[in-house]
Amino acid sequence: MPAPALDHPQLLRGLPAADYHAMKAISASTAWCLSEECPALALWRSPWNPDWQPPETAEFDLGIAAHLAALEPKQLEHRTVSIDAADYRTTKARELRDAARQDGKVPLLPWQMDIISAMAASLKAHPIASHAFRNGDAEVTMTWTDPVTRIRCKARVDYLPNCGRWLVDLKTSTSANPRHFADQVARLGYHARAAWYLDGAAEVLGRMPQEYWFIIVAKEPPYLVSVVTLDETTIDWGRRQNRRALDLSRSAMAAGDWPGYRDPGQNRDRAFRIGLPPWAVWRLQDRSDAGEFGAAPTISTRAHPDARSYEG
């Protein structure tokens, strides 16, 4: 079970990914789960639970290989295995895939290798992204102690330039459209991730990086690339959610209780009373105003006085 740790800030280069994930400290993904899900799920998915392993999928393999091709191209050949098959429907192909993963390598089908090569070429051809992965180090681990809760924290930066003025986060996606990425930011908590990494870097490096860059490359032709940074208001929302996550973690540690879904401030489980989200109410009101439901009652867009919205 997590406990506070008072360690000095550290910058670790060359730490294997498995060692990073096993490190018993709160990560950005654990913080997001604490804030937006619940402490019980965050604990289950944390390094304090030896029984949990992240799912291994073809999409996960493709993302890892794309990172290798862009960030550590010299490691791509050593850390991947080419599977001579069109897919994993045969027993032999699945056995080769599983054997590669047991050896700590990434299995790739020939068509996946073609995609990786095309994505890497697009990144090199982009006028901004092509300069993002120069004069620095890939996969840099940072550890620090949160100054408020005294909880040990960690982050693994995709790419840290020697100047330390910015952090680079490579994302593979079905689309590099910045408008679509904005939806992913809100849904997947990338704004909280950016805030976590920026604040962690400030603790470790002694200064706040100027920017947090998302380099987005599409996984489909023509493998377009976008470079995105977040505005200060968005980053501030991420900081507020991270602070809530750390406060929840401190409370759970102190009480020795990692609860499931509860309303904020509640110390016991209860039945939830929920309502439609505002956008659904507005849509129904528009349909009602158009006469679709006949003589409909007035629909208030204000929350029911007894309604609760779950926040973890």
Q: Dump pLDDT digits (tens) for 151-189.
A: 999 999 999 999 989 999 999 999 999 999 999 999 999
Q: Contact at 8 Å (CB) between 129 and 123?
A: yes
Is the same domain home to 280 and 141? no
C-alpha count within 13 angstroms, C-beta hemisphere, residue 38: 15
Residue 45 covered by a domain:
yes
Is the same domain home to 21 and 149? yes
Which pLDDT value is given to residue 303? 47
3-state secondary structure of 26: strand
Is the same domain home to 282 and 241? no
Residue 262 covered by a domain:
no
Which pLDDT value is given to residue 278? 94
User: Does residue 265 or residue 123 have the better pLDDT?
Assistant: 123
Which run of H or of E encompasses 184?
helix 178-188
Is the same domain home to 223 and 278? no
Q: What is the pTM of this model?
A: 0.86
pLDDT tens across 12-42, in order? 999 998 899 999 999 999 999 999 999 999 9
Q: Contact at 8 Å (CB) between 206 and 160?
A: no
Is the same domain home to 41 and 102? yes
Residue 142 covered by a domain:
yes
Is the same domain home to 82 and 207? yes
The structural domain count of the chain equals 2
Return d(Cα 4, Cα 254) in angstroms, integer.
Answer: 10
Is the same domain home to 107 and 247? yes
Which pLDDT value is given to residue 222? 96
State which residues form the domain around 156.
10-254
Tokens of 152: 């040990």
Which pLDDT value is given to residue 3? 47
Is the same domain home to 192 and 59? yes
Binned at pLDDT 50, 70 and 90, residue 61 comes out as: confident
Residue 293 covered by a domain:
yes
Q: Contact at 8 Å (CB) between 216 and 260?
A: no
Binned at pLDDT 50, 70 and 90, residue 226 comes out as: very high
Q: Is the pLDDT of residue 90 over 80?
A: yes
Residue 167 covered by a domain:
yes
Residue 236 covered by a domain:
yes
In order of 93, 161, 208, the CA distances from 9 in angstroms are 44, 18, 14
Is the same domain home to 50 and 95? yes
Of 224, 254, 284, the residue at which a domain comes to its end is 254
Is the same domain home to 311 and 247? no
Residue 238 covered by a domain:
yes
Is the same domain home to 82 and 39? yes
- In this structure, of 71-75, 88-92, 139-143, the range with the lowest mean pLDDT score is 71-75
Binned at pLDDT 50, 70 and 90, residue 5 comes out as: low
Is the same domain home to 97 and 211? yes
Residue 60 covered by a domain:
yes
Q: Contact at 8 Å (CB) between 177 and 109?
A: no
Tokens of 304: 């029911």
Of 204, 227, 254, the residue at which a domain comes to its end is 254
Q: Is the pLDDT of residue 235 over 80?
A: yes
For the chain, give the percent of residues with pLDDT over 90: 72
User: Does residue 119 or residue 265 have the better pLDDT?
Assistant: 119
Here the CATH number for the domain that contains residue 213 is 3.90.320.10
